[in-house]
Amino acid sequence: MTASPSPSPSVLDLAPVIPVVVVEDLVDAVPLARALAAGGLPAIEVTLRTPVALDAIRAIADGVPDAVVGVGTVISPGQVSDALAAGARFLVSPGWTDVLLESMRASGMPFLPGVSTTSEVVALLERGVREMKFFPAEAAGGAAYLKALAGPLPQARFCPTGGVGPVNAPEYLALPNVACVGGSWMLPADAIASHDWDRVEALARQAAELGSGLGSAQV
């Protein structure tokens, strides 16, 4: 089964880290996104784990022009449609099926289907998809696993997410098949609760510096 590759340019090239954001209170969405973008992390994945997630995506899309807001935890075609209607600009799933994959492709948005095994990577390559989320990264073998994949499957590019933080992110980013990582360490709960957006911006800036020298793109 052969299909065209996922849309380009790639969201993987916007920044070395994609913040994975769980918005509990809608009032936090815009200032949080502004802080992340100001810190050098414009690609923001808002996960569909709370009732306000889609409204948060709308608010960020409308109110933070410097941000490229995407939607995470996409597991159904209906969620793809909802994300598109809310103004999302990329899609991230923890895994994939052919039905979900074709729905994401049909949306016209860049997408990152999730994989955790070699067979899943090969299956996506067979379907023309070269850019993937590696999840849950640490539990699925970590940087050592991705390093092992680089030899036989150099055409695959990954965004590892799950257990990635400031200590091990450089190990992932040093790999030739890793374009960026996903994580939430720049969003400590106490900073969000106290609306300390300056601290979030500072942590985002530190995260952006992990990938100094990497290229950037516009979606």
The catalytic residue positions are: 45, 133
Q: Find tokens 């899609």 and name the residue.
A: 91
Residues in a beta bridge with 91: 71, 111
Q: Which secondary-structure segment (H or E) carries 160?
A: strand 157-160
Rounded Cα distance, 18 and 26, in Å: 20
Label the pairing between strands 131-134 and 114-115.
parallel
29-38 vs 197-209: helix crossing angle, rounded to 10? 40
For residue 91 the two structure tokens come to 């899609």
For residue 172, which of 118, 202, 133 has the smallest C-alpha distance?
133
